[in-house]
Structure 1
Amino acid sequence: MGYARVSTGDQEPGSQERELDAAGAVRVFVDHGESSRLRDRPQWVVCLDYLRKGDTLVVRALDRVAGTTTMAIETISELHHRGINIKSLTEPDIVTTTPMGRALFGTVAVFAQLRADTVRENTRRGLQHARANGRPTVMTEERVTAAVQLRDAGNSISAIARELGVGASSVIRALTRYDQTAVSR
């Protein structure tokens, strides 16, 4: 089995699906516009229900499965107790059938959470810098955080803009800056 996920509705999971197919996944479950920090992503829930003892869950990267350290540890533990292995295409040396593999999985999850926390901190600093240099923005730190959360929950740009009381272009610029900061880490 395979599992793919993209964080926003306008991202395409096609490359993940092709990689999982090439790795031999006989069925691929795909979540669109779902944050890895959500436990009840629709296709993730179906995937977990579909998996049976002895199955191997193939993912492109371990951060597709869990967005926090706690979730990663809980997920690996749950799957291990059910007799299900996880294989990551980008972290091939992490084999969850061994204690060391499970520990490495947890370590990768720690770094994924560190990356997300660093992105938030960089966004906050960038907004402070812009305000200090006389460039006020309607997208305050709180609004950027809310916009990211709303996007990760699957809301459209226009819905986010309405919710925050700002223009769609402000939301797009803020999310683009947020995403670019995430990519550079």
Structure 2
Amino acid sequence: MTIIGYARVSTREQNPESQEAELRAAGAAQVFTDHGESSRIADRPQWIACQDYLREGDTLMVRALDRLAGGEVMALQIVHELGERGIQLKSLTEPEIDTTTPMGRALFGVVAVFVQLRVDTIRENTRRGLAHARAQGRIGGRPTVMPAERLRAAEALRSQGHTLSEIAQALGVSRSSVWRALNSPGK
């Protein structure tokens, strides 16, 4: 029997090292880690590799169930598929879950519902926060590299017959940024 770990972070900016360290400390011989992958997507590259690596009698270990699946239907499907293959599932933060017993499977079903509630609550809070920010005139995303003064300079250079590449080099931005700014709706 081998313990195999699976870790996942939702964005590229997040660091999965603490999850990986916890899994190794709990006995994982190997840890598969997805970076910037949603828990709602089943075709995560390292999740697929992990599934291919798992063998009958192995234990799949995760830090928390929400690292594995973003909804109760997906979580239950994963547990069912693992069970059919003779693979156990253990969670470091939900230690009462042991899918080798009827009680453990029942507890897993209850926890999966709470995992879904947590994911839905985070999603709703994010939507609410973005709506509040928009109501105050703020929008999300990265600041533009082409503010009004740089856009005016780009328009002046274009009117003088300069190419997009020349304009980009003069302004210190990429050619695509100049193209988008000069070709945006309302231009």
- The answer to whether the superposition gives a TM-score over 0.5 is yes
Q: Which residue of 2 aligns with 1:26?
A: 29
The answer to whether 1:45 aligns with 2:27 is no
Shift of 1:124: 3.6
Among candidates 80, 84, 87, match of residue 77 of structure 1: 80
Are the equivalent residues in 1 in contact too, given 2:71–2:119 (CA < 8 A)?
Answer: no
**Alignment partner of 1:109 is 2:132:** no
Q: 1:5 to 1:128 in 2, by over 3 A?
A: closer
Match of 1:136? 137
Match of 1:119 among 122, 128, 132: 122
Work out the CA distance in 2 between the residues paired with 1:19 and 1:78.
25
Q: Distance between the aligned counterparts of 1:138 and 1:129, measured in 2?
A: 10
- Matched with 2:20 is 17
C-alpha deviation, 1:23, in angstroms: 1.1
C-alpha distance in structure 2 between counterparts of 1:126 and 1:56, whole Å: 39
The separation in 1 between residues aligned to 2:96 and 2:7, in whole angstroms, is: 20
SS of 1:66's equivalent in the other structure is: coil
Q: Give 1 or 2 for the bigger CA radius of gyration.
A: 2
Q: Relative contact order, CA 8 A, sep 6+: which one is greater? A: 1
**Is contact 1:67-1:109 (8 Å) kept?**
no
Shift of 1:136: 2.6
Gap runs ≥5 in structure 2: 141-176, 181-187
Single out whichever of 105-114 and 44-53 deviates more from structure 2. 105-114
Pick which of 39-48 and 115-124 moved more: 115-124
Contact preservation (8 Å) 2:9, 2:15:
yes
* Alignment partners' CA distance in 2, 1:79 and 1:121: 31
Structure 1: which 5+ runs fail to align? 140-161, 166-185
Identical residues among aligned pairs (%): 68
What letter is aligned with 2:138?
T
Please give the secondary structure, in 2, of the residue aligned with 1:18. Answer: helix
Residue 127 of structure 1: CA displacement? 4.5
Match of 2:89 in 1: 86
Q: Alignment partner of 1:86: what SS?
A: strand
Find the aligned partners of 1:49 and 1:28 in 2 and give their Cα distance.
13
Q: Output one character per residue of 1:124-169: Cα deviation in whole Å (capped at 9) or x when no partner.
A: 444555566xx13335xxxxxxxxxxxxxxxxxxxxxx9xx9xxxx
**How many positions carry a matched residue from both structures?**
140
Two-structure CA RMSD over aligned residues (Å): 2.1
One-letter amino acid matched to 1:28: V
TM-superposed CA distance for 1:119, in Å, is 2.4
